[in-house]
Structure 1
């Protein structure tokens, strides 16, 4: 290089180096800004509540509901995962009904420990109440509540005679009969457990009250993020499930019609009108129920609000879809990691009631808005 040109070349090189350094400094904030902007745009629309589901007995099939009332003190759907089939080991269990704590799902007969068996069953749970008056003076009335569980062979359908029930899980006798049924079915001793209500126990009343204070959930998210409360609400984005389903159906040269359903992931709430995976951006945020005009019970001065506390890690418990057993067993966690490594083995989010001091309701057709 000609000596005259060397200073010019050095200046140009220095300028280029400074430009690269500035670009390197600006790139991370720019990416962060774009990520936040994209997430905000994805959450700017209201999320529609497409369906609501309750799973009264941990591991059994759920019931689709149109409306869920929340009374003051309620931390989850009425009776959701209130009952469980706990393995009885060495003549005793790990669960204290008077001092209930969260236990890992490996301790229960559930979809995690017996997916094929429980997928072969179809169950229904309903709460029936009847009013009765005093037979002498008709001055006062009482309400009798039954928590009725019925189980059918899924392949034979509900037109066939039930395998069990209707049986009242609200009574100890009903829970004992349910435990015996599943003990014979799985050939391992199980106990149908429910947390004891001290108020009822002090009055010598063996019938459960409406106070549902302990949930046999799959996660300890409530315990970790909600002052030890085990009660959570599981939310699944239908568009995420659809994208996941499309990805595994069209992988490689094999095109299988897997058509995963959102109910496979055992949600309490299925939402749509939300970008795939955008529900993960809700973690740490609060969402509020916006009732439809028909859901007047939800239109209160203190709307029902949920705090989204964590993503949902998936396990082998959802390997079989009871609605589509012909699909066989899928390793859902591995498929999630393979096709969406940026998200890992997660699908869905857990939420808790933001303030249990107030009641309210949530109904199909309502929506969520981000606060």
Structure 2
């Protein structure tokens, strides 16, 4: 299987950023992936003592489809975050200062309107990632599986609906499910695949228009008997990963 795309999502629920290459570290997500989140005002998240929480506590596409209309870009060197709304002036906020984070939170809160609960906070906790599952991991989707879903749905589905880190080509539909429990070589890194990804209503949202114009979980259940697309893997040995690299199972020969 061949790596076709690599993405990170610096702010939970917001814009994907394409990468040509990345260095993976043991037990970590992609660098800067889900590093920040907009915690709703009633969320009990404490940046001083971070713990994993369900996505409903944060701004997320499952509940806040209009977030897809925002285009964001994060510069890890300067800490600056650009947020460009569909109309009006963009914001450049400093994620490293308390005033900057407050400015970003106010901008996002105003954009969410009635969907904002209480006084949301733009949060970061060093060493913590705002992932959908409790483990720090890398998400992988086989494009053949996505194409099978598209065929069943009778429409094109933007791969970014599914917010994976790595998209791979060159295998048959659902081949990645055979890797659960196995170790894989992904570029220069070694990972262990531990779980299939159950899809939620966030995937109904078109990342270009913010419209809920498809029902991938429903189509998956009706056509394939499950609501899963892609797998989660934890990094065991770090290394460089680049577009064009191979994904190979390290036990047996399950992918053809």
The answer on 1:76 being equivalent to 2:25 is no
Q: Which residue of 2 aligns with 1:239?
A: 144
Q: Which residue of 1 aligns with 2:231?
A: 349
Q: Which residue of 2 aligns with 1:44?
A: none
* Whole-angstrom distance in 2 between the partners of 1:214 and 1:274: 33
* Whole-angstrom distance in 2 between the partners of 1:363 and 1:168: 29
Higher Rg of the two aligned structures: 1
Q: Which residue of 1 aligns with 2:98?
A: 172
**Counterparts of residues 175-186 of structure 1 (less than 5 Å):** 175-186=101-112
The answer on 1:119 being equivalent to 2:49 is no
Dislocated runs of 4+, deviation >4 Å: none
Q: Which residue of 1 aligns with 2:201?
A: 316
The answer on 1:336 being equivalent to 2:255 is no
* Whole-angstrom distance in 1 between the partners of 2:89 and 2:8: 20
Partner secondary structure for residue 76 of structure 2: strand
Contact 1:241 1:261 in 2 (8 A): no
Query: How far off is 1:332 after superposition?
Result: 1.7
Q: How many residues align?
A: 246
* Whole-angstrom distance in 2 between the partners of 1:169 and 1:190: 15
Change (3 A) 1:245 1:175: same
Query: How far off is 1:74 after superposition?
Result: 5.9
* Whole-angstrom distance in 2 between the partners of 1:153 and 1:74: 35
* Whole-angstrom distance in 2 between the partners of 1:283 and 1:55: 24
Query: How far off is 1:64 after superposition?
Result: 0.4
Query: How far off is 1:81 after superposition?
Result: 0.1
Contact 2:27 2:234 in 1 (8 A): no
Partner secondary structure for residue 177 of structure 1: helix
Q: CA RMSD in A?
A: 1.8
Partner secondary structure for residue 349 of structure 1: strand
Q: Which residue of 1 aligns with 2:254?
A: none
**Looking at both structures, which has the greater relative contact order when contacts are Cα pairs under 8 Å and sequence separation is at least 6?**
2
The answer on 1:274 being equivalent to 2:168 is no
Contact 2:27 2:137 in 1 (8 A): no
Contact 1:150 1:162 in 2 (8 A): no
Which is richer in helix? Answer: 1
What's the TM-score once normalised by structure 1's chain length? 0.63
Contact 2:158 2:207 in 1 (8 A): no
Q: Deviations over 1:88-115 (max 9, x none)?
A: 12xxx41121221110011111111101
The answer on 1:193 being equivalent to 2:123 is yes
Q: Which residue of 2 aligns with 1:209?
A: none
Query: How far off is 1:246 after superposition?
Result: 1.1
Change (3 A) 1:364 1:124: same
